[in-house]
Amino acid sequence: MGLDLYLAMEIFKEFTFEAAHHLPNMPEGHPCGRLHGHSWKAVIYLKDEIKQPYGWVMDFGDIAKKFEPIREQLDHNYLNNIEGLENPTSEVIAKWVWDKLKPELEALSRVTIYETVDCAATYTGE
Ligand SMILES: Nc1nc2c(c(=O)[nH]1)N=C([C@H](O)[C@H](O)COP(=O)(O)OP(=O)(O)OP(=O)(O)O)CN2
Ligand SMILES: [Zn+2]
């Protein structure tokens, strides 16, 4: 069966970056208040109609091209030094990425930032 009807679909592409941070507003003695690092994962979601004749929402490679300048800002950096990331929780990073990427990708529907393999925050623009 083809995808020749109007169909909306959500796609995603995952990216990784290595970065250090600390959370400055933690109570005394909280481990996240100390400098530490993570292998972060950013998942970029787009929701739009399937474009013909390609049969896709957008080329995953084009999503990568749009996200790469943002990934470069984060990768191998100390997040607290980046403007807007002075308190770099997963939640703050997810919104920060959204604000930078939405003007470039109109179909952006969600940004999820994984701090560890089992902890993440998702922002949908609300
Ligand atoms: N809602 C949020 N909670 C926490 C955040 C956050 O950004 N948003 N961040 C942290 C810390 O940065 C911490 O480094 C990550 O915490 P945690 O998942 O607890 O990581 P651990 O691997 O150290 O925890 P385990 O329990 O050993 O798996 C904390 N909370
Ligand atoms: Zn952390």
The verdict on whether 115 is a catalytic residue reads yes
Residues in the chain: 126
20-78 tens-digit pLDDT: 999 999 999 999 999 999 999 999 999 999 999 999 999 999 999 999 999 999 999 99
What is the CA(17)–ligand 1 centre distance, in A?
17
Which pLDDT belongs to residue 6? 77
Among all chains, which residue has been given the structure tokens 């909306």?
Answer: 8
- Residue ranges and CATH numbers for the domains of the chain are 8-123 (3.30.479.10)
For the cut 90, the answer to whether the pLDDT of residue 4 exceeds it is no
CA distance 69 to 17: 12
Which pLDDT belongs to residue 105? 98
- Of all protein residues, the one whose alpha carbon is nearest to atom 12 of ligand 1 is 32
Which pLDDT belongs to residue 54? 93
The ipTM, to two decimals, is 0.90
Phi, psi angles (nearest 5°) of residue 89: -75, 165
96-117 tens-digit pLDDT: 999 999 999 999 999 999 999 9
Tell me the CA distances in angstroms from 55 to 4, 12, 42, 51, 112, one per residue in order.
8, 15, 25, 6, 25
* 1: confidence class by pLDDT, cuts 50, 70, 90: low
Does any ligand 1 atom lie closer than 6 A to the CB of residue 23? Answer: yes
Q: Which ligand ends up closest to the CA of 31?
A: 1
**Residues 58 and 11: beta-carbon distance below 8 Å:** yes
For the cut 90, the answer to whether the pLDDT of residue 9 exceeds it is yes
pTM: 0.94
Which pLDDT belongs to residue 63? 98
